[in-house]
C-alpha cells in the first residue's frame, strides 16, 4: 500500500492554516524548517490577474531520490504504507551533508537554523494513522482542500490528475499525490508568472 495526499487547488485560499497546524502538532520550532509549505502562483495583470496556491508537504515518492542520496542510510521508505521517514540521530547534519535536499526535486527535506541542523520533514503524520486519524493538515484545512489515504482510493474518489498549477509530476520519483488543478486561462498559458513560498526560509 502507498499512502498519499490529495490537494484541491480550486478550494485553497492560501490561509496557511495547514502550515500552522503542522508546526504545532509536530512541535516544529519557529524558524526555517517547515514540513508543510504553501506557494503562491501569480500570473497576468490587472484587470485580469490569476492567482493559485500550491500546498507542498513531502510527497512520499514511489522511488524517492532522497533515500539513495543519503550516505548513512538515515532515510527509509516504509514497506507497510510507503511513508518516507528520517532517522534524525543518524543524519550527518546540514553543515556536513545536505545530499537529500539537493536530490529531492521538490525540496521537501527541511533544516532548522541551528548549527549542523539535522534533516526533518513531513512524515504524513505517521503516528496518527494507527489511531484512525488523518494528517493534521487535512483535519485543519477550513476549506477542505486536502485529503490523504491510500493512493488507489484517492484516485477512485478524486480522479487521476497528478499535476497542478506550479507542480510538475516527476515520473522518475513518482510523487504520491492527486490533484484537482486550477489551470490558468488559456491566454496566460505561456505566462511563467511568479512563484513565492511561505514560510520564507533560507534553506529551500
Q: How many CB atoms lie within 10 A of CB 74?
A: 20
Average pLDDT rounded to a whole number, residues 86-106: 96
The enclosing H or E element of 66 equals: helix 66-69
Percent of the chain with pLDDT over 70: 97
Q: Give the model confidence (pLDDT) of 183-196 as tens digits.
A: 888 877 777 777 77
**Closest C-alpha to 10, from 180, 143, 185:** 180
Spell out the domains of the chain, with CATH numbers in brackets: 3-61+123-198 (3.30.70.20)
Q: Which positions ≥6 away from 38 have C-beta within 8 Å?
A: 12, 14, 16, 18, 19, 53, 54, 55, 56, 197, 198
Q: What pLDDT score does 31 carry? A: 87
Predicted model pTM: 0.91
Q: What pLDDT score does 130 carry? A: 95
The length of the chain is 204
Amino acid at each position: 500500500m502507498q499512502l498519499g495526499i490529495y490537494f484541491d487547488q480550486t478550494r485553497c485560499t492560501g490561509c496557511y492554516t495547514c502550515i500552522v497546524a503542522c508546526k504545532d502538532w509536530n512541535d516544529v520550532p519557529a524558524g526555517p524548517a517547515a514540513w508543510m509549505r504553501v506557494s503562491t502562483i501569480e500570473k497576468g495583470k490587472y484587470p485580469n490577474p490569476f492567482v493559485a496556491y500550491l500546498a507542498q508537504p513531502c510527497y512520499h515518492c514511489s522511488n524517492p531520490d532522497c533515500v539513495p542520496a543519503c550516505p548513512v542510510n538515515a532515510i527509509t521508505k516504509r514497506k507497510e504504507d510507503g511513508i518516507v521517514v528520517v532517522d534524525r540521530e543518524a543524519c550527518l547534519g546540514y553543515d556536513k551533508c545536505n545530499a537529500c535536499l539537493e536530490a529531492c526535486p521538490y525540496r521537501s527535506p527541511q533544516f532548522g537554523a541551528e548549527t549542523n541542523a539535522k534533516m526533518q520533514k513531513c512524515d504524513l503524520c505517521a503516528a496518527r494513522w494507527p489511531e484512525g486519524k488523518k494528517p493534521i493538515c487535512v483535519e485543519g484545512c477550513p476549506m477542505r482542500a486536502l485529503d490523504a489515504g491510500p493512493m488507489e482510493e484517492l484516485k477512485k474518489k478524486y480522479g487521476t490528475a497528478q499535476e497542478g498549477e506550479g507542480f510538475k509530476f516527476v515520473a522518475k520519483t513518482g510523487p504520491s499525490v492527486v490533484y484537482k488543478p486550477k489551470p490558468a486561462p488559456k491566454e496566460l498559458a505561456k505566462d511563467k508568472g511568479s512563484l513565492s513560498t511561505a514560510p520564507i526560509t533560507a534553506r529551500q
